[in-house]
Amino acid sequence: MITPVLETTGLCFAYPDGHQALFGCDLRIERGERVALLGPNGAGKTTLILHLNGVLTPGAGSVSVDGLEVRKENLKRIRASVGIVFQDPDDQLFMPTVYADVAFGPRNLGMTPADTDVRVNAALDAVGMEEYAERPPHHLSFGQRRRVAVATVLAMEPRILVLDEPTSNLDPAGRRELAEILRELDTTMLIVTHDLPYALELCPRAVLMNGGVMVADGPTPEILSDRELMAANRLELPYGFDPVLVGRRIIP
């Protein structure tokens, strides 16, 4: 049996104030999949992804990456395998230049300057930001900073790329440019988003969460076309948007 890139089994979690955020979540993602994680605010999506590289520890159940369980003694290897791009790129950009930001992770792994340079150049090339290597990140546009944040994760060559609301605060051109970049990446992806057309555009499969449980899991056009399911989970498509017709054109 092929080991999945990511698997959560019976994952439960409660915050210190007693709020139970996850109730036995099961999720399996195979190598090469692009999966959208959908759900209303408060569904537990962010809590779930913070378990994927050990930021949060399960109250019950387990999380594994390539068969390696996420626990304290494995965190260094796990965090090299799970790359999370947070909603605000400024949470990940803190060095004086773009190059230094993208090089930070490989250097922390103990890579040589020559190997680090290869990783950085490849990551910046993948997101179309190689010409900005010596620029201060805070001089870039929001969309450019988002792309650099993606590059900081790609430089670690992760097994799975997790993106938290990648289109938030992007203008239409930035949204399209990022979609083109993500579509070309040969990396397993989990995309957390409220942008349902974006989920359809990039992810053949969608998982719907609500109330800390997995509500639905299937082909993205089918989930987005289920009006009762969408209404019950407070999700709405743009007016006139037909996910079945659109999905036939863009889902590979």
Per-residue tokens: 153: 């994760």
Residue 213 sits in a domain whose CATH number is 3.40.50.300
Q: What is the per-residue pLDDT across 160-197, written as a single tens digit (0 to 9) for each?
A: 999 999 999 899 998 999 999 999 999 999 999 999 99
- Given a cut of 90, whether residue 17 has pLDDT beyond it is yes
Is residue 68 domain-resident?
Answer: yes
- Given a cut of 80, whether residue 240 has pLDDT beyond it is no
Is residue 35 domain-resident?
Answer: yes
What is the predicted pLDDT for the residue at 36?
98
- Given a cut of 90, whether residue 247 has pLDDT beyond it is no
When pLDDT is cut at 50, 70 and 90, the band that residue 246 belongs to is low
Do residues 42 and 101 make contact, with C-beta atoms less than 8 angstroms apart? no
Over residues 226-248, the mean pLDDT reads: 79
Supply the range of the domain harboring residue 106.
6-250
Is residue 1 domain-resident?
Answer: no
Is residue 52 domain-resident?
Answer: yes
Average pLDDT of the residues of the chain? 92
- Given a cut of 80, whether residue 112 has pLDDT beyond it is yes
- Given a cut of 60, whether residue 252 has pLDDT beyond it is no
Do residues 63 and 8 make contact, with C-beta atoms less than 8 angstroms apart? yes
Q: What is the number of domains present in the chain?
A: 1
